[in-house]
Structure 1
Amino acid sequence: MDAFEGRYGNLVLLATAVGDGEEAVTPADLLAAIEARCGVLQSEVSIEVACPPHDLWLLFSTEEKCTVVLQSSMKFKCCRRWIQFQRWVRETRATPDALEYKTKLSLEGLPDQAWSTQSVKSVLKDLGGGLIEIIRPKNRRELEVMAWLRDPSKVGKMLDVEIVEPKLALCTDPPPQSVEEFVAVEMASSYGPSSPRKKKTLVYPVICHIKEVTDHGPLLAEDLPDAWLPNEGEDLTRTHKFSTRLGKVDGHED
């Protein structure tokens, strides 16, 4: 990655056609527009289709030509659409992976055989989080845990949790009773994986309740009165508690 970034960091731009125009921006059209608007020859630019939300990936022969085109961002149109340029960086299209929010949540409907550290870690991983501790359960209906989450607001309220069947359940098919049956089974298995109908897992519907979130981030509200603003260096840790009801998907009416 370092070598890739060192090679392309100052030579690549990502172009986005802004707006909902019906006319698509093609590489040939954009190269012609760049030459006419910026004076950069088409032979000095390599262009390819890029992944959304960007449209095109441009590699320039020199950093100077790359900068000239960058400075023309949103200053000309191509195919009746404004063209926005931005430098390529490795974080493009990615989101931070830090687990910033300490969260207390409960899993209602998680089967008894999944009340283990490994199973809970697997569930939290799918939610974009990591386990801190499993809280001693008060009943058999819900399992409370403390976890680090990347973004509690994106955690689904209804989860489909897939649990692998225990090893004893994997040996339920009767053994072949004859040579012909044995050959038939072997031939069937040689043609690829078995049908998904025979997948040895069970899927359980689980309600996820977010009960408490500890937020260490900056205040997002704007134009607050001076009296409400924190002092320099003040601890901004805030704990948000939410009301939940067993058997109900949070936020839904009865």
Structure 2
Amino acid sequence: MTLRAVQVNIKAVDGPAVGRFWAEALGWNLFQPGVTTYVGPSTDLVWPDPVAVGIDIVPVPEPKTATKNRLHLDLATTSEAHRAELVARLLSLGATPADVGQGAVPWTVLRDPEGNEFCVLEPREIYRDTGPIAAVVIDCVDPPAMARFWGEATDWTRHELTDDQATFRSPKGTGPYYEFLRTPDTKTTPDRVHLDLLPHPGDDQAAEVARLRTLGATDLDVGQGDVPWTCLNDPEGHEFCVLAAP
């Protein structure tokens, strides 16, 4: 039994506006199946997408604080000209430059229209086949410990493990990488961005949640009430949800 990542969940005051930004940024399509706004690569709504990790924007009343999210997206580019064009286009769509202490680096750090940080990477061979999202990046204190938890929690294949970084990808070798990077700061506030996971067909959601608790996950109450998904924290407090099968 394992779980698969199906979407990145972003909280936003204006969900449709943030959805439009990310649809334009990724060259994907926008859907509003209900309260949330979903962004995915298919012309028609396909959920879960068989390859890509979608973006689901959930409306909330509270704006983002100045605290940096501990999960962000890295966007792939194919050349320096593509990176410059993409950055210029994102700025025209409402992104703003961000200084998160990165110093002189070859990538560009931006914020979406509601302040969520993301990066536009310089071209890298490793991301040539990921699609527009190169990586889902998660700040953490202990990458090896995160590798133990997430490696058992999900169906991801591990590609790299050092004291400073743990890298995974779908076992199909498609879609983005999942990168846990060591950072000096610790988690202090709830994130605006988190992963949503889904059991594989035939697996039981309740059994998966129980298994995650044995691995070190803890229950999370964000005022969700009676909903068909389960909110949890990983061992370092990163929020994530286990969704019910469609």
Identify the TM-score tier after normalising by the shorter chain.
under 0.3
Give the number of the structure with larger relative contact order, counting CA–CA contacts within 8 Å between residues 6 or more apart. 2
Whichever structure has more helix as a proportion of its residues is 1
